Amino acid sequence: MPVHVLDHPLAAHIITHLRDKTTKPATFRTLAYQISLLLAIEATQRIETELKPIETPLEPMQSRVLAHQPLIVVPILRAGLGMVQPFTDIFPDVSVGYVGLERDHETAKPRSYYCKLPPLAGRHVFLVDPMLATGGSAVQALSIVKEHGATDATLVCIVAAPEGAVEVEKHHPGTVIHTAALDRELNARKYILPGLGDFGDRLYGT
């Protein structure tokens, strides 16, 4: 399965503080921003570049810049919103779409409540959602962006459960997943163990 786990001492440090139940929402938001910035850099390693003729103070040269097409980032609401700003901060051209999905507390199945996407035909999408638990939300979001024409999508999350990664591979084989942590398992209520609890609630203090 193409699951890439972020391997950096700073990522480990940030994840530890995100997991810590005493971390308050304001700090949690800052940490979510920081880890998402590291993930944004990692996940976009292979985006297209093109040569641009420039002149340094000493001589002309051809040097690489990001290719003209804007990067497309789609957060799964609501928790995914906490991962968008690092992408918009570092990429000069970025289009942001939104997919709203909410897990039913009893069944853990996702329910769709919102969708607003830029043109996706032929485009590669970076789908961002901090938690990959059963994989139900990611699978549905991947189907939605593909129905809107995306040819390909990369999933970027902060904590993933093995069950979720298997589910994504089953329904969307070959999807690349970038995560800051690959955890042990899901509990009976489909929460990730050891995990960090409900990301959306901790992000927004609800």
* Three-state secondary structure call for residue 119: coil
How far is the C-alpha of 186 from the C-alpha of 135, rounded, in Å? Answer: 11
83 binds ligand PRP (CB under 6 A): no
Bridge partners (DSSP) listed for residue 5: 179
Phi then psi for residue 194, to 5 deg, are -70, -25
Q: Which residue is nearest to ligand PRP (CB)?
A: 200
- Residue 191: which of ligand URA, ligand PRP, none does it interact with, CB under 5 to 8 A by kind? ligand URA
Output the CA–CA distances (angstroms, integers) from residue 188 to 3, 56, 140, 181, in the order listed. Answer: 24, 60, 22, 20
Please state the closest distance from residue 109 (CB atom) to ligand URA, in A: 12
Stretch in the footprint of ligand URA (CB under 6 A) among 2-10, 67-75, 118-126, 198-206: 198-206
Q: Report residue 156 as tokens.
A: 């970027």
Q: Report residue 205 as tokens.
A: 């203090």
Binders of ligand PRP among residues 57 to 76 (CB under 6 A) are 76
> Smaller CB distance to ligand URA: residue 97 or 195?
195
131 binds ligand URA (CB under 6 A): yes
> Smaller CB distance to ligand URA: residue 124 or 171?
171
Query: Binding string to ligand PRP for residues 97 to 126, with x set by CB under 6 A, is what?
Result: ----xxx----x-x----------------
> Smaller CB distance to ligand PRP: residue 100 or 118?
100
Helices (H), 6-114: 9-19, 25-43, 84-90
Please state the closest distance from residue 100 (CB atom) to ligand URA, in A: 15
Please state the closest distance from residue 56 (CB atom) to ligand URA, in A: 48
Sequence length of the chain is 206
Contacts 24+ apart (CB under 8 A), 67-72: 68/93, 69/93, 69/123, 70/94, 70/95, 71/44, 71/47, 71/95, 71/126, 72/96, 72/97, 72/118, 72/120, 72/123, 72/124, 72/125, 72/126, 72/150
When binding is defined by CB under 6 A, the residue of 3, 133, 142, 180 that contacts ligand URA is 133
78 binds ligand PRP (CB under 6 A): yes
Bridge partners (DSSP) listed for residue 159: 131, 181
> Smaller CB distance to ligand PRP: residue 68 or 105?
105
Footprint on this chain of ligand URA (rule: CB under 6 A):
131, 133, 191-192, 195, 198-200
